[in-house]
Amino acid sequence: MRGSLTLGKIFGIPIKLHTSWFLVAALVTWSLAGSYFPQEYPGWVRMTYWAVGAVTAVLFFASVLLHELGHSVVALREKVPVRNITLFIFGGVAQIGSEPRTAGAEFRIAIAGPLVSLALAGLSGLLSLGTPGVAPLAASAAYLARINLMLAAFNLIPGFPLDGGRVLRAVLWGLNGSLRTATWWASRVGRGVAYLFILLGVGQMLLGGFLNGLWIAFIGWFLKDAAESGYQQVVLKDMLAGVTVRDVMAQQCMAVPSDLRLDRLVADHVLGEGHRCFFVADNGAVKGLITLNHIRAVPRDRRDKLTVGQVMAPVDALLRTDFDEDVLALLKRMDEAGVHQVPVLDNGRLSGMITRGNLLHYMQLRSELGV
């Protein structure tokens, strides 16, 4: 979800708009104002269609936001952190910081969103029936009632990672006691649902509904990837549970002096030895870190004029860790900061390096050994 604009916070949860949201918001407004409302409610002034279409589109995405807030508020009550809520091309998603601790907590978090949508559908339906003399208001409310009902029904499809799939996972988790096994089965059902969406979309495309079919197939593809990655995340957490930085970090880590010129670093250590990242240290004290990204940012004709100390990321700006930090907690911090390597420091002195490559190698070995 990089490339998102933060709007503010609700209950301490950052609310974001992904750049893809602006496209789908424009399409929804155009569809409502140019097609749906003129067909359902002929005779309005043209500007009324656009005004009602724009307001209804905003209220639709407000409904999506409330759906995600339903999940998030219950998650917070269950002591599950929520990183943010992001509205994007497929609607909205609440970024939950960790898995629920129990099957009951998972069920309550998963069902909260559809319940909010059903409540919104009911309120909107009552509003549409209670305002027959105000046609634009009644029309908008009727649409919101229908779309919130559809949103609840769609999310209750028992395909992980949809809400219905998470409800299914909660039930399976409660029955067999294994989150990993429950996630495997729920993700398998989710993949099956995703392939049905793809087939349905392709069928519609062949029958002439190209755009609708393409959209349905695209949703299916998104659900397939999400189902697979959801299971992989659970496997990752299961595999790394209890593993510390000491178990995974690289013992050898090359350090270079701060007065080394960039051209010599490239010639001797990058091209010559294949290293991709270096600590900058003088007399054993770490000053910073320099990577290929730092080097690439310097034009070639200036690399003989600058030293690594002038280009490095200072140690105070680095994400750091120690021997005893839990690897899962560190991986989350690395993901949030968007970094691929972290220095391991012991009382301010360099002890090693942990990288995503270290973690992948460690997991590959465990997988091959069946542990």
Give CA–CA dist 160/156, Å, rounded: 10
Cα angle, residue 112 at apex, residues 165 and 74 outer, rounded to 5°: 115
Q: Which residues of the chain have pLDDT under 70?
A: 1-3, 250-253, 284, 348-350, 368-371
pLDDT of 61 reads 93
Q: Is 68 a catalytic residue?
A: yes
Nearest to 81 by CA among 14, 179, 176: 14
Q: What is the pLDDT of residues 14-33, one digit of tens each?
A: 999 988 888 888 989 999 99
pLDDT of 46 reads 92
250: CB partners within 8 A, 6+ apart: 352, 353, 354, 355, 358
pTM of the model: 0.72
Cα angle, residue 55 at apex, residues 52 and 58 outer, rounded to 5°: 145
Beginning with the edge strand found earlier in the chain, give each strand of the sheet holding 82-88 in spatial order.
4-10, 13-18, 82-88, 91-96
Query: Among residues 40, 68, 106, 336, which one is catalytic?
Result: 68
CA dihedral sign, ordered 215, 220, 224, 230: positive
Give CA–CA dist 206/197, Å, rounded: 14
Give CA–CA dist 240/235, Å, rounded: 9
Specify burial of residue 69 (Cβ count, 10 A radius: 0-12, 13-18, 19+).
buried
Written as one letter, the residue type at 143 is Y
CATH classification for the domain delimited by 245-369, as one of 1.10.3720.10, 3.10.580.10, 3.40.50.10470, 3.30.390.10: 3.10.580.10
Written as one letter, the residue type at 241 is A
β-strand partners of 14: 9
Contact present, 340 and 318 (Cβ < 8 Å): no
Tokens of 220: 């299916």
